[in-house]
Structure 1
């Protein structure tokens, strides 16, 4: 059996943390390894405990969840996927969270199964945005002016390369350096700015349809591990931090 998903809960309300703990640990394959009541504690706990997933509130004393997310995402040794869990369905929180390095966005009115699923999906490296949230991301960024990067795409640092041992500013294997890449230049329907193999482009199209790795594997009749490799290669070539950025890229370039 695989090891349980290690989760850090960050919320300034103890009752909320207790409720999340009860829900997540009822799943059987998830264990809560720590709790934090503010962003300062979250950064310290993330460094000490090295969780797989962090459920992060936004509005907290001392340091909010967005700043804590930025600091955790900047930690080269961190492997944690940050899922922002908030009461407030606000666009500024959504886009600021993605820009800070969050892997997903979930509202606190979500049901228990949605929370459990969110943690599992984030731990697997899959996208974690509801369809309506994805549409809002695409509406804001897909038709951005030429030269404007998609959320999660940084011309200075291939953020998504961190998990694959690519140092900031280095040239990812098989791709081009961020300085040579202009993700926002081609308009919708134009040829991609980077070269993807036929299979990688096919996987990207399915990712843009909000399919998980398991669903893509079933659709293409290949192994889930193979899908994960293709997704990793696509993110690396795009210089994208996560699947959200890849979805935006696909819509910008007529691949969705």
Structure 2
């Protein structure tokens, strides 16, 4: 039986211990390594054979998990990324999707759900569990995210929008005009079935 080599990224020791205990107890999984800081993630990826990285969206006090995920996906090796969060909002799932995460789930899921997600992700399936199963709008948004065909630039712009950047701030970051930013935002929102930023943040603000 081929073992799924997992790198656990977590800056909270108790959570890291829990994940390590659960994963290492499985016959078809092994803990390839653990990382509590950004630099440790890439040090281990450069020296270890890793099939899948488990990483929180919020890492080192901010949304570092997103940046790390993007960097992992830019590497030659096809390493899968499972991102998780304690926040149950569509915008968190959108951020994870746009960063390139293969799968996403919330911390309130069961151990069985976590293990099934790891196994499914390792074989190329995408699992998106937001923890908002009773909310049709959230499910619809997840469907739109997965079915939409955002361009690379639209994805970049929406990523900044989700981090509360203004159009002017996005323009400065990407070295494009505010008018161009507005156009990208409009096109992306249309593809995602959103009318404005308030719809995107509605569930996050209520959580």
Given the two structures, how large is their TM-score scaled by the length of structure 2?
A: 0.63
Q: Which residue of 2 aligns with 1:190?
A: none
Q: Which residue of 1 aligns with 2:58?
A: 59
Q: Distance in 1 between matches of 2:104 and 2:82?
A: 6
Q: Which residue of 2 aligns with 1:137?
A: 142
Q: Which residue of 1 aligns with 2:41?
A: 42
Unpaired runs of 5+ in structure 1? 143-148, 156-185, 187-256
Q: Tell me by how many angstroms 1:109 deviates.
A: 1.4
Q: Tell me by how many angstroms 1:74 deviates.
A: 0.5
**What SS does structure 1 have at the residue aligned with 2:58?**
coil
Q: Distance in 2 between matches of 1:12 and 1:36?
A: 8
**What SS does structure 2 have at the residue aligned with 1:71?**
helix
Q: Distance in 2 between matches of 1:20 and 1:105?
A: 15
**What SS does structure 1 have at the residue aligned with 2:15?**
helix
Q: Distance in 2 between matches of 1:50 and 1:96?
A: 27
**What SS does structure 2 have at the residue aligned with 1:138?**
helix
CA-to-partner distance for each residue in 1:190-219, whole Å, 9 max, x for gaps?
Answer: xxxxxxxxxxxxxxxxxxxxxxxxxxxxxx
Q: Does structure 2 conserve the Cα–Cα contact (< 8 Å) formed by 1:51 and 1:79?
A: no
Q: Which residue of 1 aligns with 2:105?
A: 106
> Where in structure 2 are the equivalents of 1:20-39 lying within 5 Å?
20-39=19-38
Q: Does structure 2 conserve the Cα–Cα contact (< 8 Å) formed by 1:40 and 1:68?
A: no
Aligned length: 152
Name the CA shift for 1:8/1:134 in 2 (closer, same or farther; >3 Å). farther
Q: Distance in 1 between matches of 2:68 and 2:145?
A: 24
Q: Distance in 1 between matches of 2:100 and 2:46?
A: 16
Q: Does structure 2 conserve the Cα–Cα contact (< 8 Å) formed by 1:40 and 1:62?
A: no
Unpaired runs of 5+ in structure 2? 154-190, 192-207
Higher helix share: 2
Q: Distance in 1 between matches of 2:108 and 2:42?
A: 25
Q: Which residue of 2 aligns with 1:128?
A: 127
Q: Does structure 1 conserve the Cα–Cα contact (< 8 Å) formed by 2:8 and 2:16?
A: yes
Q: CA RMSD in A?
A: 3.1
**What SS does structure 2 have at the residue aligned with 1:98?**
helix
**What SS does structure 2 have at the residue aligned with 1:70?**
helix
CA-to-partner distance for each residue in 1:147-167, whole Å, 9 max, x for gaps?
Answer: xx625x648xxxxxxxxxxxx
CA-to-partner distance for each residue in 1:126-181, whole Å, 9 max, x for gaps?
Answer: 12113846532224675xxxxxx625x648xxxxxxxxxxxxxxxxxxxxxxxxxx
Q: Distance in 2 between matches of 1:126 and 1:81?
A: 10
